[in-house]
Chains A and B, each alone.
Chain A
């Protein structure tokens, strides 16, 4: 359906108010206005019909010096998968040494995006 959406860009702290018009069913975009950089344009186009977010949380450790290791999706995943993702993360446990950048779950939720460690732990 042809529509117009006002989107606050979350790419950087500037928070530009961007207007996008187009068809939110087909994803066809007619105009993007109000962005002050190309990242903002890309963000607004995605946000118009397919909002994406980086998911960050933490997973339990076993035999490590710290109780938790922070994790993130390497890049953004569809916003509607956030809570499904949390259900998976809640049940994960990592063991011993973990390095920042280690892949914890490859192809997380079939998104093609890896869940990676964003911090480290040492085996004890």
Chain B
């Protein structure tokens, strides 16, 4: 292990791998990935379904195939990595980690990239009432058990939440011989992509219950059933008298993902309250200039392809910073307005082009997205539909932004 690296990356999933590739391509000499799992690839390794790489490679790959392309490219470029290594602390120019070979170590980096990804919202986080039997899994935990560890999680299941992983696991459980009774979603639209609703639920006649939630988990040792009730669309409170028992031995939760930012917060980096990830500029630079962040640790993406694109860009700028080629300059905030829940990056250097990614707060048809500099419209585009589950983007040019104190993205 070297003493000083140009770029150290925390996490070897899709974000970390693409960041490493980007950093190397930009000219960084020594790049290190620190990964806690037993292999590189992160969550892609358990995503054995197709749907990856359409944007990046123009073909439909599975998660492990997609990961292998980046792993090969990173290793061919000479990226170093450490597996089975837990990062304990991130400093402005250092990463403190621990593993079996090195024990406790500190690696110094001219820049550091946070690429820890996200974790699933658990039963505790959504406060589902009832007993505490075995058989309640997050969808991703079940996915790992079934797809990597050859362990089936149950015979009859209910899925709470219509996130992509939940719908994909509904199909996976069905293919593996289990019966999926229903997918219950508290909102009046699916949280995941439309294509997954079609190919994972409709293809297998799995009922999707919109405006429904689990109000009770039954069973002592093992789940024996869950009670599902309809909710009032306005208040999201269960409607008395609509409760129905679904006898099952398994409940999967697909109720959203939370960026994993304990290291970020401990490093004193500013976290955005809406995305739960660090505030970044278009270079994926956090409020600490030597620390960059990319992928789901910044904001939860719908597609691995988007994570790769964003992370390769972050890797390139982190390399430039390490080589002293990313000067600090003036920055202006980006502001979400109307039917826009958040904009990422949260601030931009107005003298450089920027792509602003944003998510709607609620589904809308025939919406117009407008970008305003100090209240003055600089671009507008009509969208056939906008959906919170599908991220949108707009690009801004320096000549349109110059001199403005803030930039607003608005959907009406």
Contacts and interface: CB of A to CB of B under 8 A. Distances in A.
Contact of B147 (A9, A13, A60, A68): A68
Interface residues of B, number: 28
Interface string B146-160: 011110000000000
A7 to B, nearest CB: 9
A15 B175 contact: no
Give the 10 A-B residue pairs with the shortest CB-CB distance, closest first: A15-B194, A119-B64, A70-B48, A10-B195, A67-B150, A118-B62, A54-B50, A8-B198, A10-B199, A68-B150
Contacts of B150: 58, 60, 67-68
29 contacts: A8-B194, A9-B195, A12-B195, A13-B193, A13-B195, A13-B303, A15-B193, A53-B199, A53-B203, A54-B60, A56-B48, A56-B62, A57-B48, A57-B176, A67-B148, A68-B149, A68-B150, A70-B48, A70-B64, A72-B62, A79-B203, A82-B175, A118-B48, A118-B62, A119-B48, A119-B64, A119-B65, A119-B68, A120-B68
Given A67-B148, A119-B45, 18 more contacts: A9-B195, A11-B54, A12-B195, A13-B195, A13-B390, A54-B60, A56-B49, A56-B50, A57-B175, A58-B48, A58-B147, A67-B150, A70-B48, A83-B175, A86-B175, A118-B64, A118-B65, A119-B64
A43 B197 CA distance: 17
B302 interface: yes
A100 interface: yes
Interface of B: 45, 48-50, 54, 60-62, 64-65, 68, 147-150, 175-177, 193-195, 197-199, 203, 302-303, 390
A66 interface: yes
Contacts of A15: 193-195, 198
Interface string A70-86: 10100000010011001
Interface residues of A, number: 27
B194 A100 contact: no
A87 to B, nearest CB: 10
A73 to B, nearest CB: 9
A65 B351 CA distance: 51
Nearest to B164: A13
B259 to A, nearest CB: 21
Interface string A1-40: 0000000111111110000000000000000000000000
A38 to B, nearest CB: 13
A86 B64 CA distance: 20
Contacts of B194: 8, 13, 15
Contacts of A54: 50, 60
Nearest to A119: B64
A75 to B, nearest CB: 9
Nearest to B175: A86
A28 to B, nearest CB: 24
Nearest to A72: B62
A9 B197 CA distance: 11
Contacts of A66: 148
Contacts of A56: 48-50, 62
A67 B148 CA distance: 7
Contact of B64 (A11, A79, A100): A100
Nearest to B202: A8
Nearest to A15: B194
Nearest to B303: A13
Contacts of A13: 193-195, 302-303, 390
A52 to B, nearest CB: 11
A70 B62 contact: yes
A119 B68 CA distance: 8
B115 to A, nearest CB: 22
Contact of B149 (A14, A67, A120): A67
Contacts of B199: 10, 53
Given A70-B48, A72-B62, A100 B68 contact: yes
Nearest to B391: A13
